[in-house]
Amino acid sequence: MVRLFGPLVGLFFAVALLWSFGVGAIQAIREPEPATAVQKFHLAPHEPEPGFSFNGPFGKFDRAQLQRGFQVYKEVCSNCHSLHFVAFRDLAALGYSEAEVKAIAKDWSNKAKVTDPKTGDETQRDNVPADHFPKVYYAGTGNPPDLSLVTKARHEGPEYVYSLLTGYQDQPAELLKEFPDSKTPDGLYYNPYFANLNIAMPAPLADDQVTYGDGTKATKQQMAADVAAFLTWTAEPKMEKRKQTGWAVLGFLLAATVLAYLAKRNIWAKVH
Amino acid sequence: MSFPWAKEYKPSHPLMQWLDEKLPLPRFVYNAVGAGYPVPRNLNYMWNFGILAGVCLMLQIVTGVVLAMHYAANSGVAFDSVEHIMRDVNWGWMLRYAHANGASAFFVVVYIHIFRGFFYSSYKPPREMIWLLGVTIFLLMMATAFMGYVLPWGQMSFWGAKVITGLFSAIPVVGTPLQQWLLGGFAPDNAALNRFFSLHFLLPFVILGVVILHIWALHIPGSSNPTGVEVKSESDTVPFHPYYTAKDGFGLGVFAILYCTMLFFLPNALGHPDNYIQANPLSTPAHIVPEWYFWPFYAILRAFTADFLFIPAKLMGVLAMFSAILVWFFLPWLDTSPVRSGHYRPLFRKFFYLLVIDVLVLGYCGGSPAETKYVLISQIAATYYFLHFLVILPIVASIEKPAPLPFSITQAVLGKDDQTAPAA
């Protein structure tokens, strides 16, 4: 039975597939899919010049860079973007003291919202270290995503954030010549690193937009790299511990595997 | 059952003797994975992957049970609770990465185990039942993995669930009501998430049960071996312990090194970035792709682009995708060559390697966006896939002239066997 019906079923699927193939191939030859502006002009993200300190199996965060990146987030990004999964207390990992964390929370301009349980009145209070960053409400065009996980939510996240922030430019003339319908609509901005080339966020960074406390010159590239590093930390705060643990685990496993191999060789020596 | 020369369990300690009388559990273990189980002496490292699959199952159960202590299966908070595990639970990040990469490791190991079975024809008599139970385990694994991927409630979770449950709507007449009944709604939502969590917790224990049957069925004829020649005498075998416990120990070490490298240094390499975006029913991702271990089957699903006779393309795709796995159930009766091992089947071997390449091509196409070129390639690759199992294997079995087999396993290993019958 199996040998009778099996080949019939096999041929049935094969013919159906070849039918689909034929229909699709004829279609592809008759009306080839037109190239799109995205296919030709979208760019893959790239690293900043010296590279990120946290990449690679030994990579570590640069604490000073994370603090600078936090400053960029605070002074620029936090006007529109939330940081839902990060608590003020987490900032201690950037090298801030307990008192500094308290002060950052207290001075944060977006206050914690509370509802009075007796009257139902909505009021505000200063943030405390245990609070998460309060949600940012945004009324303009576009839909600014929460940034806590953004570097894990995009392919090559840190490079993507850096490239996007430094990638604003005028729409290339060749693009308009080749795809006259693809002019960037009003209210959007051309950025070849964005998935569909036109992003609702205006270029957020300009040289010297912030003044770094440590004297680093705040070029656009510098700020973009710093905030990309900061957002890598917000997405993966346990990264350093993960890599550190990984090396200890691999060291142990390597030794154990060598011993296991020697044991195996010893036991099998007699029967080969 | 075992071979007559299998060692008998003889406890020397009075406590163990007492235990053996009341409940012979140590005897059971001794006969299953101890010195009481004689195993062919020529097993190569391809035979490590059964044990490794068992290790992966236990790893998934242990990490999964602990994760379930911290996870909340509610569509309002599921995504947040996963981030809570990643940030606030002690070693939670390690548990979650171990579980997510553990699923991938499980599938890598099981795919190698299955292709080992293809090459050495492990499905042939007297081992058909082991094979049938194995394919059942694989189907259960796919269901479990699919539902597990929905739990973090990210974008790929949601849209993957929508696409896969949408397959049921292709069934004529009852399709749409069936899909709504399975989901508990018109689209994946809290009802679906809750039942997926419940089943994702249950199914691993069902898998464990079938694994026990799989191993039980294995111990009746005993393990196969790379020559495909059955065990003839005691010199063909060695006791499982210490020989294969030692060999499996080394294999386990190598596996653990590779797995931990992924876990600690590339934990998100096999995942999709979109799953770090919370599920949003109003925003469809640009490319909906399942996890890598479903790619070959996803490619087969998408390969049917034109209605065939009176059957809609979507229904053909669904039928073909399920048939692609169900066909494995019939392998023992499709491949009738009396020779098991691919080492002695020159023609079969060529088609086997072609199948390996074919499945890799299907996997590549399944993970790529649904562009014309990938669809066209997967149509050819899927055609070969079905022809291989249903047409080529039966034909090869009847026309092939196999190479001469060794007299026994001992002869294959040592070059001589004292038991060799004198040439008549």
The DSSP bridge pattern shows strands A198-199 and A122-125 to be unpaired
Q: Indicate if A153 and A166 belong to the same structural domain.
A: yes
The token pair that represents B295 in the structure block? 């790619």
* Cα dihedral B130, B136, B142, B147 in deg (nearest 10): -130
Give the closest residue to A166 by CA, choosing from A204, A110, A210, A140: A204
Give me the percent of chain B exceeding a pLDDT of 90. Answer: 93
Does residue A153 fall inside a structural domain?
yes
Same domain, A77 and A176: yes
Token pair 């240094």 is found at B265
Q: Which CATH superfamily is domain B33-226+239-285 in?
A: Cytochrome Bc1 Complex; Chain C (1.20.810.10)
B376: left (phi over 0), alpha (psi -120 to 50) or beta: alpha
Q: Do A178 and A246 belong to one domain?
A: no
Fold of B289-399: Helix Hairpins (1.10.287)
**pLDDT score, position B421:** 54
B415: pLDDT confidence band, cut at 50, 70 and 90? confident
Cis previous bond, A158, omega within 30? no
Q: Is residue A29 part of a domain?
A: no
B35 neighbors B7 (Cβ within 8 angstroms): yes
Residue A165 sits in the same domain as residue A250: no
Q: Mind giving me the DSSP string for B271-328?
A: S-GGGGSB--TT---SS----GGGHHHHHHHHH--S-BTTB-HHHHHHHHHHHHHHGG
Give the confidence band of A35 by pLDDT, cuts at 50, 70, 90. confident
C-alpha to C-alpha distance for B124 and B340, rounded to whole angstroms: 7
The per-residue pLDDT for B424 is: 40
Q: Do both A213 and A161 map to the same domain?
A: yes
CB contact under 8 A, A149 and B261: no
| Contact state of A271 with B238 under an 8 Å Cβ cutoff | yes
Give B159-175 pLDDT, tens digit per residue.
Answer: 999 999 999 999 999 99
- B372-387 helix and B313-326 helix, angle to the nearest 10 degrees: 40
Model confidence at B423, pLDDT cuts 50, 70, 90, reads very low
Q: Are A224 and A243 part of one and the same domain? A: no
pLDDT at A257 over 50: yes
Residue B145 near residue B293 (C-beta atoms within 8 A): yes
Each residue's pLDDT tens digit, A177-235:
999 888 999 999 999 999 999 999 999 999 999 999 999 999 999 999 999 999 999 99
Q: How many domains does chain A have?
A: 2
Distance CA B304, CA B322 (A): 13
In a domain, A11, yes or no: no
Per-residue model confidence as pLDDT tens digits over B180-232: 999 999 999 999 999 999 999 999 999 999 999 999 999 999 999 999 999 99
* Inter-chain touch B387–A235, beta carbons under 8 Å: no
- Residues in chain A closer than 8 A to B254 (CB atoms): 257
- Flag whether A249 is in a domain: yes
Q: Would residue B285 be called left, alpha or beta, if left means φ above 0 and alpha means ψ between -120 and 50 degrees?
A: beta
A102-125: per-residue pLDDT in tens? 999 999 999 999 999 999 999 999
Q: Say how far apart CA B422 and CA B424 lie, in whole Å.
A: 6
A194 lies in the same domain as A251 = no
Handedness of CA B144, B145, B148, B154 (dihedral sign): negative
Give residue-wise pLDDT tens across range B66-85: 999 999 999 999 999 999 99
Q: Note whether A165 and A46 are same-domain residues.
A: yes
Could you tell me where in chain B the CATH 1.10.287 domains are found? 289-399
Q: How many CB pairs under 8 A join A and B?
A: 165
- Count CB-CB contacts under 10 A for residue A131: 16
Residue A120 within any structural domain of the chain: no
The tens digit of pLDDT for each residue in A45-66 reads: 999 988 999 999 999 999 999 9
Top residue of A3, A5, A17 to mutate, by most chain B CBs within 10 Å, is A17
Q: Are residues A143 and A253 in the same domain?
A: no
Which residue has tokens 């142990």?
Answer: A252
Domain(s) of CATH 1.20.810.10: residues in chain B? 33-226+239-285
pLDDT confidence of residue B137: 98
Do A167 and A230 fall within a single domain?
yes
Is residue B8 part of the annotated active site? The answer reads no
pLDDT at B1: 53
User: Pick from A28, A148, A250: which is nearest to B260 by CB?
Assistant: A250
pLDDT at B93: 98
Backbone angles phi, psi at B253, to 5 degrees: -60, -45
pLDDT at B120: 97
CATH of the domain at A225: 1.10.760.10
Phi-psi group of A266: left, alpha or beta (phi > 0 → left; psi -120 to 50 → alpha; rest → beta):
alpha
Using the predicted structure, report yes or no on whether residue B309 has a pLDDT greater than 90.
no
Q: pLDDT by residue (tens digit) across B259-272?
A: 999 999 999 999 99
Q: Is A256 part of a structural domain of the chain? A: yes
Known active-site residue B307: no
Handedness of CA A155, A157, A159, A160 (dihedral sign): positive
- pTM, whole model, 2 decimals? 0.95
Closest to B337 (Cα-Cα) out of B388, B256, B399, B408: B399
Q: Give the domain range for residue A165.
A: 37-86+132-235
Alpha carbon of A215: minimum distance to chain B alpha carbons (Å): 32
Tokens of A174: 């060749």
With contacts defined as CB-CB under 8 Å, which chain A residues touch B261? 246, 250
Residue A250 and residue A161 in one domain: no
Kindly tell me the sign of the dihedral angle through the C-alpha atoms of A248, A251, A255, A256.
Answer: positive
Query: How far lies A131's CA from each of A23, A32, A92, in Å?
Result: 59, 55, 13
Confirm whether A140 is domain-assigned: yes
Contact B387 A14 (CB under 8 A): yes
The owner of tokens 């299953």 is B32
Question: Kind and range of the H or E element at A199?
Answer: strand A198-199
Asked if A186 and A75 sit in the same domain, the reply is yes
The proportion of chain A whose per-residue pLDDT surpasses 70, expressed as a percent, equals 100
CB contact under 8 A, A10 and B390: yes
